[in-house]
Structure 1
Amino acid sequence: MTDALQLVLEDTDGTQLETSCTRFAVIWQGRELWVQQANGQLLIGVDVEEGDTEYANLLLRPMATNLVSLQLEMEPAEAGDDDHVHGPECDH
């Protein structure tokens, strides 16, 4: 199994370009949203820059049979958050 993503890029005139990559980013609301495949899963992450006072969270909600809503929310970063260790109880 390969971790390469097959992409179809489309211009406003409908011209399509097929390509592949291991990961790509979309600039959305001033943040880089990185998409990559790993172990058969599609991973989406938001870059956090040094000095940020907020964490970016992505919310994916089903809207219909074939549609989803993706929302970017910012949460305040609390003092000591740098010491957080991700585990099963943190929902990350």
Structure 2
Amino acid sequence: MSDAPLQLILEDTDGTQLETTCTRFAVMWQGREVWIQQVGNGQLMIGVDVDENDTEYANLLLRPLATNLVSLQLEMEPADLEGDDEHVHGPDCNHDH
């Protein structure tokens, strides 16, 4: 992960812009925190915060729209409360092992 701050430009509905920096930021979207942070090599990581008691998983779908546009869609999928026998625990699964 890179320690270089992200440069943000926030714009109000009247067009007023505010410039700031941060290491990561979140957008509240459909009742979920969608976090964005820089991970190095010019890449951004986007993730959705989940709680232990959540009954749904959040899936982010990215689709190209045009040369310089993409669509990001948040879809909720029921969580398997019985346990997922197909899940393989690894360093990136965010589960306590």
Q: What is the TM-score when the length of structure 2 is the normalising length?
A: 0.80
Contact 1:9 1:17 in 2 (8 A): yes
Q: Does 1:17 align with 2:21?
A: no
User: How far apart are 1:85 and its partner, in Å?
Assistant: 1.3
Query: Once structures 1 and 2 are overlaid, which stretch shifts more, 46-55 or 1-10?
Result: 1-10
How many residue pairs were aligned?
87
Separation in 1, partners of 2:50, 2:16: 34
Decide whether the 8 Å contact of 1:24 with 1:36 is kept in 2: yes
Corresponding residue for 1:39? 40
CA RMSD of aligned residues (A): 2.0
Q: Which runs of 4+ in 1 moved over 4 A?
A: none
Hey, what does 1:85 align to over in structure 2? 89
Give unmatched runs, 5+ long, in structure 1: 88-92
* TM-score between both structures, scaled by the size of structure 1: 0.84
Could you tell me whether the CA contact under 8 Å between 2:26 and 2:35 is conserved in 1?
yes
Alignment-derived partner of residue 67 in structure 1: 69
Aligned-residue sequence identity (percent) comes to: 73
